[in-house]
Amino acid sequence: MKNYLVTGGAGFIGSCLIRRLLKEGHKVTTIDNLTTGFKSNIPKNINFIKGNCGDPKTYKKIAKTKFDAIFHVAGQSSGEISFDDPVYDINANTTSTILLLKYALKSRCKRFIFASTMSVYGSKPDKPVKEIDNTEPESFYGNSKLASENYLRIYQKYGIKYTSLRLFNVYGPGQNMKNLKQGMVSIYLSQMINNGKIHVKGSPLRYRDFVYIDDVIYYFMECLRNKKSIGKTINIGTGKKTYVHQIIKILAALHKKKISVKYSGSTQGDINGIYADVILKEKIFGKRMLTKLSDGLLSMYKSSMQYISYEII
């Protein structure tokens, strides 16, 4: 049995990761400030610390704990919100990483796995984006995640063994259906289920790389076993390009009810399209069949039918 720290355990990805670690028999502590996460998401029988990872005081509560690895998953996860409050964004996404790195060194925990994002790239030509491509983030969110990646790279010199996973569009059961500012699939699904009206902010011809939650958790867990992932920044996507209108079409077909779709407006810092080059991921972790988009959307749709109302946050 190992002892892990997972930040952001009340959120979508953090809570799924904790469940997987518990299933494998490990001990888990999480730190979460419950800004976008829910206490009810946190699995039972773990040590929950309510606190801001961007506040040094938070770490006093775990000063004497020795972890085998830290998964830094907590963060302000919306490009749109990063424009509303860039100061909070950099605290949640960069200061948090620096403080955790300092804590890691002090507590002699060397392994550090970070939830980064495709948003570090910014707009790119219509071809799969590679880890070695230029990073020109167009949102404060992408910028603060990129800064964290750079801190991790520099902290290597002090012995930190990092992996940065650049997550593409993660979707699946458990995604927050109340947050209408983060997660394309969850936003459209929530609107469709609640009132049959989808409002897409932007063009139907934008495209993304949608990766299912179970596959994402698989790669987080593999980082613990796979030494080749140390010191690497890796795209976590499917390598497939899916247009917004294709997602809407699949969701509408699942719903089997009349829906209306309006395309208008835009989101600040949004990019037209991006999808992952997965050569490095496959070189490090090997080739693997990933969840088909239609299967993943079906399981998300089924689990989401329990949400019958939402509030805008």
Ligand X SMILES: NC(=O)c1ccc[n+]([C@@H]2O[C@H](COP(=O)([O-])OP(=O)(O)OC[C@H]3O[C@@H](n4cnc5c(N)ncnc54)[C@H](O)[C@@H]3O)[C@@H](O)[C@H]2O)c1
**Nearest 10 degrees: CA dihedral of 226, 110, 100, 269?**
-30
Show the tokens assigned to 36.
Answer: 């976008």
Smallest distance, Å, CB 134 to ligand X?
A: 19
Residues 248-307 that bind ligand X (CB under 6 A): none
With CB under 6 A, what is the number of residues at the site for ligand X? 31
The Cα–Cα gap between 207 and 83 comes to 22
Residues 185-224 that bind ligand X (CB under 6 A): none
Of 196 and 299, nearer to ligand X (C-beta) is 299
Smallest distance, Å, CB 246 to ligand X?
A: 17
Of 37 and 269, nearer to ligand X (C-beta) is 37
Among 17, 32, 177, 198, binds ligand X (CB under 6 A): 32
| CA nearest to 219, candidates 159, 132, 152, 287 | 287
Phi-psi region of 216 (alpha: psi -120 to 50; beta: other; left: phi over 0): alpha
Binding mask 98-137 for ligand X (x = CB under 6 A): -----------------x-x--------------------
Could you give the C-alpha distances from 109 to 104, 112, 210, in angstroms and in order?
5, 8, 32
User: What's the distance, CA 62 to chain centroid?
Assistant: 24
Among 29, 52, 238, 242, binds ligand X (CB under 6 A): 52
Catalytic residue, chosen from 59, 141, 155, 310, is 141
For position 74 contacting ligand X by CB under 6 A, the verdict is yes
Of 34 and 280, nearer to ligand X (C-beta) is 34
Smallest distance, Å, CB 169 to ligand X?
A: 5
Q: Hey, which residues does 161 pair with through a beta bridge? A: 111
89, 235 Cβ separation under 8 angstroms: no
Among 29, 33, 235, 242, binds ligand X (CB under 6 A): 33
Name residue 19's amino acid: R
Of 73 and 234, nearer to ligand X (C-beta) is 73
| CA nearest to 14, candidates 41, 40, 35 | 41
Verify whether residue 141 is a known catalytic residue: yes
Q: Hey, which residues does 273 pair with through a beta bridge? A: 207
For position 92 contacting ligand X by CB under 6 A, the verdict is yes
9, 22 Cβ separation under 8 angstroms: no
Name residue 34's amino acid: L
Smallest distance, Å, CB 242 to ligand X?
A: 14
Of 53 and 193, nearer to ligand X (C-beta) is 53
Smallest distance, Å, CB 58 to ligand X?
A: 7
For position 176 contacting ligand X by CB under 6 A, the verdict is yes
Smallest distance, Å, CB 89 to ligand X?
A: 9
83, 113 Cβ separation under 8 angstroms: no
Q: Hey, which residues does 7 pair with through a beta bridge? A: 31, 72
Residue 32 CA neighbour count, 13 Å, CB half: 29
Of 196 and 307, nearer to ligand X (C-beta) is 307
CB atoms within 10 A of CB 48: 18
| CA nearest to 293, candidates 220, 234, 237, 235 | 237
For position 18 contacting ligand X by CB under 6 A, the verdict is no
The residues carrying an active-site annotation are: 141
Which residues in this chain contact ligand X in the complex, by CB under 6 A?
Answer: 7-8, 10-14, 31-37, 52-54, 73-77, 92, 96, 115, 117, 167, 169-170, 176, 183
